[in-house]
Structure 1
Amino acid sequence: IKRLTSQIQANFIVVIHPGSKSLRMGRATDTLPITVPQVIVRRHKQPGQRRYEDQCLSREGLNAADSNEQRQNGLKMVDQVIWSKKMSSGVRRTPVSAEQVRQTGDESWTNKTHQPEYLVGEEALYVNPADCYSIHWPVCRGHLNIHSGPGGSLTAALADLETIWSHALQKLLEIPLKDLKYYRCILLIPDICNRQHVKEVVNMLLVKIGFSAVVVHQESVCAMFGSGLSSACVMDVGDLKTSVCCVEDGVSHRSSRLCLAYGSSDVTQCFFWLMQRAGFPFRECQLGNKLECILLQQLKESFCHLYQDISGLQDHEFRTCFPDSPVLLYQLRLGDEKLQAPMALFYPAAFGIVGQKMTSLLHRSQGDAEDAHDEHFLLTTQSKQDQIQLSTSSKATTDRKLFPKPAGFEGEPNMCDPSEKGNLTRDLDLGHAQSECLVGGADAEETLSALLSRKTAMTQFEGKALGMDKAILHSIDSCASDETKRKMYSCILVVGGGLLFDGAQEFLQHRVLNKMPPSFRRLVENVNVITRQKDMDPRVIAWKGGAVLACLDTTQELWIHQREWQRFGVQCSVSGPPLSGDVFVTWI
């Protein structure tokens, strides 16, 4: 397929960065993107229809029988670390127990007199719960929010995304949908993602919304572009997930990618639990109320910190300002709760989440029925070539030695045929060792045993809840060479809005420095943790990198055009040059 190589005007390229809570969108020439809550409410189609609402903070695993015990155990570890580290004056902090802590608004509900079918963004957040609307957040932890409730199907989630993005394009960017045939789009996706979901979103952008072309790229690599760095270990702390990945010269190392199933919202619910334990005066507050969740997030952002030097009891005030309710002023006394809540990011047991998968690694693609040349086909082809070479070599050797031909080389199926072992290798990311299982005989049994052991180890590892510092160390340790590891330890880039606590940079730097292997302490001159590169808001750095990507000359060869997609589907993504560090087909 012949691709257009003419320079594309950046003003006609839209950069989209979807998150679990917020959508960031703008032209590549904009200084900053527009940011809107990625939420939608839909009017009920039938009278008496049951109301449904996706929860903001509440999540599965919080109300298990062992949740409170796990919280207490996690909190003990947090308190031990707080006490063990002295303040800058050399004096130990004085712990403050929960028992010690105990001794004017113009908000209005969204106007719905015209009974709209749906409302998006801020308007959706202020819909009266008594009205007949259901609330949906279509993205959750980097994936489409698929669940068993109303609006939880793949089709419904895609329809919600299409409505939200189309609304943002028309109302906020003032781009009529009929003019999108002149526009192109850069879509940022997580490093570990559901490839089927990405394929459906690309199809939505090109076929349903109507962009003329699209480029899909990883958030971590775009964060590097936006920060102006060449190599770093990138940690993206979002609202519902935290991802870690090592990026070197624009290439994301596959083995270093991992995703943690907690983020800023989990800190908020942990802070709420700690405040309740300390006698939170707003006793009517519930995690199921979206406006009260917004209040809790504001309290977390205002009060929480990671400074060891702030010690003792402190008095605070806050106001509740809800529609159709008087403004109420509350007084609150807090001690270590303001430090304990953000420290739960380093001791996730304090979140009290039981029975949930908390860590995800990059697994092998499940393949795509529409793509006859996916990586399973390439793996099988490579394996058959290896078998032919092995058979030819063995035959020549036995002929020279006048030995009879060994069984298994006369067209008989190999003991480790990929069709038989595909279910195993499909789940594992084996890198260059992909075809080593296709050697036959005892070697196949031995390699199969190794693969099973590796899969078991991965399952056990994914069952653990790693703290942020341990996740960074694991990601860096997964890099191939010591030189790459040295680069990663020398530069740790933190993006996203989940670690915007005062003192976070120094705290994370101290944790990594103390836990890094002794062999690297001599090689690494300084562990540099960057939380605000060039004084930019870390929440928009990845989006800014997408805007930079749109202006690069090399990007002109990466566009997937609408006609190509309609004709060839996912196969057209491998007809051109590969995207930096990853071929597009490995994602979708």
Structure 2
Amino acid sequence: MVGKKSGKALRDEGLERTDNNMDLSSWPQVAAINQKNYYTDYLKRDDQYLAFRLQNEEARTKMTKSAKDRDRALAMAKTEAAEGEAEADGDANMEDAEETPAEAAGSKVIVIHVGSQNLRIGLSSDALPKTVPMVIARKAKTSESEDQEEPNPKRQKRDDGTPEEPEHLFGTEWSSQFNKMSADLKVHMRTNKRRMLPNSKEMVVNFNRRTVPETISEHNDPMRIEWTELSTPPPEYIVGQAALRVPDSSQPRYKLYWPLRNGCCNERDYASKRMLFLDISLILEDAIKSQLGLTSKKDWAQYSCVFVIPDLYEKSYVTQILEMLMREFSFARVCFIQESLAATFGAGLTSACVVDIGAQKTSICCVEEGMCVENSRVNLKMGGRDVTETFIKMMLHDHFPYADIDLWRRYDFLLAEDLKRTICTMNEANVSPQVFDFHLRVAGQDTQKHTFKAFDEVHLAPMGFFEPTIFDNLPKLDGCRKLIDRSVDIYDGQPNDPLSTAQSEILTALAPPLPKINGELQSASADAQAAQSKTQQSGALGRVQEQEATPHSSVAGSPAPEATGTPQAGGANPSAAATSTQTPRIAVEERDDILPVFPLDSAILTSIAHAARSDEKKMRDFIGGIMVIGGGTLTSGFHLCLEERLQTLRPGFLKEIMIGAPPRDLDPQVVVWKGASIFGKLSGTNDSWIGKLEYDRLGHRLMAYKCMWAY
């Protein structure tokens, strides 16, 4: 080791120090941090978040104002008491006038619930909402019925182009399933000691074959329709109910657009994301002006807005809606609430399993103590619209006299919806050959009265909720992710939309079998197929009970689901799936390729199983507190039929299973809106409001602090 050199040696080598021992810079030098004692309180206190600071400042301002008002009132009372009794009475009247705005709670809060087919909107102080069709008609060269090459329902044709016989209009596979459902219904009715004529189907077919429509002149039709008359010049767009009443052969032509489809954005019928959200904005704007009477946009800055979103929402949709409400509509405050939570608010329940069957979407979620159980959320792409289409297909199969019905035409669509609403039933006592009639009203033509017979079609069409393969599910995935990409994490680029283990299990059961490449993959694929078969036969409730009691971690809002599960082609390690004891899962990126259409009874049991997590008490509470809401539940006998199906799947809970309806005779279609309106009145305890100042500074990042759930 070389020793220290002397000063002379350094001078000889030219290395002698010649400075004056001053620092190289006058800038203060910071000593290195001692990692052993390192600590910081950055973003560890609520007062360091802008959202919480603004809430605290607002609370302090209200407290100061109320104290000043109280002191001022006491001082004025003492002064006016000496001036006479008359002035004291006048002061009492003034105090009553000051308290009047507080009595009209919610009069400055707009509640919006957007659905695939209908929009429900109203003030929080209203008893019931206004219902507007979620549709807009725009000028076009052709109408939507003229754009389609095939009618709806789609019929098959012979090789020479002529239509097939009614029994073969929709293919042999569909006809065989329809006949099988009809045979199963006969067996079930005989088991329940219900009499049935052996030739009922033949009676219906023979009657429908020979029936002839009756023509009624327009002046003799007391229920004639008032069609929408176009002004001069014709408007660029028409919104709501008036859009549905525009004649298909109008001049100029108008084409209908439905911005939402199957509970999410309709990317199939739109060419750009901007036009899609522009139509949503125009429909909402027209509803606020026409239904609420707020014609001036300048007044909207005085109002707050409560917006209802799905339980399994897409973050890109929520952020776009938030920007629309804050920027375009200029509301003072905005907050969001989930559908199932709003339903429990409207029904006055603290815990329930909410089953919401809409026009094109069915959502299931268990709510416990005012919070949605994240892993119990299920979103199925089927609803009352599927029942309408299937009912028309069944009637056409049995020689429906109006054989040219096309649901792309507006008057036929409204006719089919009315027939489903008035004729369909799930009560077996009403299944018998019956005569019905309807009036076909077309703009510019005389009314035609058709008479027809129906038998089991009125019952089997809504039974499609339990056998959804009878529905036409092929076009539901068209256009998915064409315009709007999935929301991803800004750090690792992984999808960050909320997940649910119940939804993931259903998607796994619906996933196609994997190719058998080697022995391990074949074994894993066999395990997955066995799991699928078990799920479809008895639901996921029994399988979850047999799993280990170790609770799973929540994956809602996480960037990716659990890695365990059925291996996908080119994906996870097959051996990991073979040795895993967890339920198989579907990768997040592959969820868009699988359509979530599953039997309703099995989906409910799957949701409850993931909410209870092997807790016997919770399972009995949820299975005994099932509340069905939505327009799809208005079919008579639906509650009893669903209860019977659940009892068949879970005979061990025969006494506990109970299907409830909304209390106080509330319309099942408005329960969610009613709950959201109640939520909007909770101004003192609601911390979910997003104001303009904080949104201008933080944007949609505020949702992480403002939502009552893990956003």
TM-score by length of 2: 0.65
Aligned amino acid, residue 455 of structure 1? I
Partner Cα distance (1:99, 1:292) in 2: 26
**For residues 461 and 210 of structure 1, do their structure 2 counterparts lie closer, same or farther at Cα, with a shift above 3 Å needed?**
closer
Specify the SS of the correspondent of 1:135.
Answer: strand
Q: Could you say which residue in structure 1 is the equivalent of 2:502?
A: none
CA distances 1:484-534 after superposition (whole Å, capped 9, x unpaired): 22111001111110121111111111111121263x44xxx4322123432
User: Contact 1:492 / 1:528 at 8 angstroms: preserved in 2?
Assistant: yes
Cα 1:224–1:508 change in 2 (3 A) is: same
What does 1:330-479 correspond to in 2, within 5 Å?
330-354=450-474, 366-369=487-490, 426-428=559-561, 454-455=585-586, 465-479=597-611
Whether 1:500 and 2:625 are equivalent positions in the alignment is no
* Alignment-derived partner of residue 659 in structure 2: 529
Q: Distance in 2 between matches of 1:484 and 1:162?
A: 42
Q: Deviations over 1:350-391 (max 9, x none)?
A: 224348669x9xxxx843549999979xxxxxxxxxxxxxxx
> What pairs with 1:201-216 in structure 2 (closer than 5 Å)?
201-216=321-336
* Residue 170 in structure 1 maps to residue 170 in structure 2: no
CA shift digits 1:30-75 (9 cap, x unpaired): 010010111111224xxxx4555799x9889998999634423432
Q: Deviations over 1:229-284 (max 9, x none)?
A: 12111111111111111111111112111111111111111110111111211223
Instruction: In structure 2, give the amino acid aligned to 1:338.
Output: V
Task: Give me the whole-angstrom Cα distance separating, in 1, the residues matched to 2:153 and 2:317.
Answer: 22
Map residues 225-264 of structure 1 onto 2, 5 A cutoff.
Answer: 225-264=345-384
Pair 1:90-2:188 in alignment: no
Q: Which residue of the partner structure matches residue 312 of structure 1?
A: 432
Shift of 1:95: 5.8
Q: Distance in 1 between matches of 2:156 and 2:313?
A: 28
Q: How does 1:175-214 map to 2 (within 5 A)?
A: 175=294, 176-214=296-334
**Is contact 2:560-2:587 (8 Å) kept?**
no
Secondary structure of the 1:102 match is: helix
Task: Name which of 560, 580, 587 aligns with 2:690.
Answer: 560
Name the larger-Rg structure.
Answer: 2
The answer to whether the 8 Å contact 2:152/2:406 transfers is no
Which residue pairs with 1:396 in the alignment? none
SS at match of 1:245: strand
Give deviations 1:141-176, integer Å, cap 9, x for gaps.
Answer: 1212112x4x44221111011111111111110113
The correspondence for 2:681, drawn from 518, 536, 551, is 551
* Cα distance in 2 for residues equivalent to 1:42 and 1:91: 52
Q: In the aligned structure 1, how far is the partner of 2:657 from the partner of 2:309?
A: 28
Equivalent in the alignment of 2:703: 573
Tell me the secondary structure at the aligned position of residue 668 of structure 2: coil
Structure 2: runs of 5+ lacking an equivalent? 1-49, 63-101, 158-167, 207-220, 481-485, 498-554, 565-572
Equivalent residue number for residue 279 of structure 2 = 160
The 1:168/1:355 distance shift into structure 2, 3 A limit, reads closer
Question: In structure 2, what is the Cα distance between the partners aligned to 1:464 and 1:15?
Answer: 29
Match of residue 138 from structure 1: 259
8 Å CA contact 2:106, 2:125 repeated in 1: yes
1:370–1:569 contact (8 Å) kept in structure 2:
no
Of residues 195, 209, 228 in structure 2, which corresponds to 1:110? 228
Amino acid of the structure 2 residue aligned with 1:489: I
Judged with a 3 Å threshold, the aligned counterparts in structure 2 of structure 1 residues 484 and 60 are, in CA distance, closer, same or farther, namely farther
Q: Answer whether contact 2:425 2:462 (CA < 8 A) is retained.
A: yes
1:197-230 residue CA offsets vs partner (Å, 9 max, x unmatched): 1110111011111111111111111001101112
Q: Take 2:405 and 2:349, find their aligned partners in 1: how far apart are those partners?
A: 43
Contact 1:95 1:312 in 2 (8 A): no
Q: Aligned partners of 1:247 and 1:214: how far apart in 2?
A: 23
Q: Is the 8 A contact 1:371 1:570 kept in 2?
A: no
Structure 1 unpaired stretches of 5+: 377-421, 434-442
Structure 2: which amino acid aligns with 1:562?
Answer: K
Cα 1:356–1:159 change in 2 (3 A) is closer
Instruction: For residues 330-366 of structure 1, give each alpha carbon's deviation from its aligned partner in whole angstroms, at most 9, with x where no partner exists.
Output: 11111111111111111111224348669x9xxxx84
The code of the aligned residue for 1:159 comes to L
Identical-residue share of aligned pairs (%): 27
Q: Distance in 2 between matches of 1:269 and 1:34?
A: 26
2:260 is matched by which residue type in structure 1? V
Q: Secondary structure at the match of 1:333?
A: strand
TM-score (structure 1 length as normaliser): 0.78
Q: Alignment RMSD, CA only?
A: 3.6
Which shifted more, 249-258 or 73-82? 73-82
Q: What SS does structure 2 have at the residue aligned with 1:193?
A: coil
Matched, 1:25 2:121: yes
Is the 2:380–2:596 Cα contact (8 Å) retained in structure 1? no
Evaluate the alpha carbon distance shift between residue 275 and residue 38 of structure 1 in structure 2; reply closer, same or farther with a 3 A threshold.
same
1:295 correspondence with 2:415: yes
Highest RCO, 1 vs 2 (Cα 8 Å, sep ≥ 6): 1
Is 1:273 equivalent to 2:273 in the alignment? no
